[in-house]
Chain A
Amino acid sequence: DTGVSQDPRHKITKRGQNVTFRCDPISEHNRLYWYRQTLGQGPEFLTYFQNEAQLEKSRLLSDRFSAERPKGSFSTLEIQRTEQGDSAMYLCASSSNRGRGYTFGSGTRLTVV
């Protein structure tokens, strides 16, 4: 297992366009998380899946954001009508329990121009 994979690593998009990011967690991990990290800040929680069920959403996840995890495997995070304020690093993490074992991916860096 090569860990948590995120694709793409970098994305530059024009304001108003839609973008979609993908996260492939560690295969035996049933928990999957999305975080957003802006420059100079720590990551902020966006949403959490247990298997295919989205169990928790932050108020940061506006109605322009949607996340899915079909079949409880990979997950996608879509941002519609991107704004410059969406520019950030989007990090995915997975774990098998609520303990210490979170593994993060390398992130997708989004730049909205």
Chain B
Amino acid sequence: AQKITQTQPGMFVQEKEAVTLDCTYDTSDQSYGLFWYKQPSSGEMIFLIYQGSYDEQNATEGRYSLNFQKARKSANLVISASQLGDSAMYFCASHLTQGGSEKLVFGKGMKLTVNP
């Protein structure tokens, strides 16, 4: 079974500063993927970044990077140069990439507030 833990209920950051959102995961499978999604107040889940368990390099997508530490089972999201529009809920999620269930397993999320 997969489990995602996000322990930070909320964070505040100043505009233009970098922020790290924590995510730890628990899985006994070797082949899995890790996601970060952003959910603004409008409700849609917006894909930010993906890391495969066999990817040797940390994923980057524009201002987003994923600090993947496989041995520690952590997949922290780093947002550089925060913008006011980054204020939203952020969810870490995982899935199996081979066999087993097709579902995404999400953490409880954390609320990021970017202050001007």
Contact = CB atoms under 8 A, between A and B. Distances in A.
Interface in A79-103: 89, 91, 93, 98-100, 102-103
Contacts of A103: 47
Interface residues of B, number: 26
A104 B109 contact: no
Contacts of B95: 98
B105 to A, nearest CB: 7
A104 B44 contact: yes
Nearest to B45: A104
Contact of A106 (B43, B101, B107, B108): B43
A85 B77 CA distance: 33
Interface residues of A, number: 26
Contact of A102 (B4, B42, B47): B47
- 8 tightest A-B CB contacts, nearest first: A42-B106, A45-B103, A100-B50, A104-B45, A106-B44, A107-B43, A48-B102, A43-B106
Interface of B: 4, 33, 35, 37, 42-47, 50, 52, 91, 93, 95, 97-98, 101-109
Given A42-B107, A42-B109, A104-B46, 18 more contacts: A42-B106, A43-B91, A43-B104, A45-B105, A48-B103, A56-B102, A56-B103, A93-B104, A98-B95, A98-B98, A99-B50, A99-B97, A100-B33, A100-B35, A100-B52, A104-B44, A104-B47, A105-B44
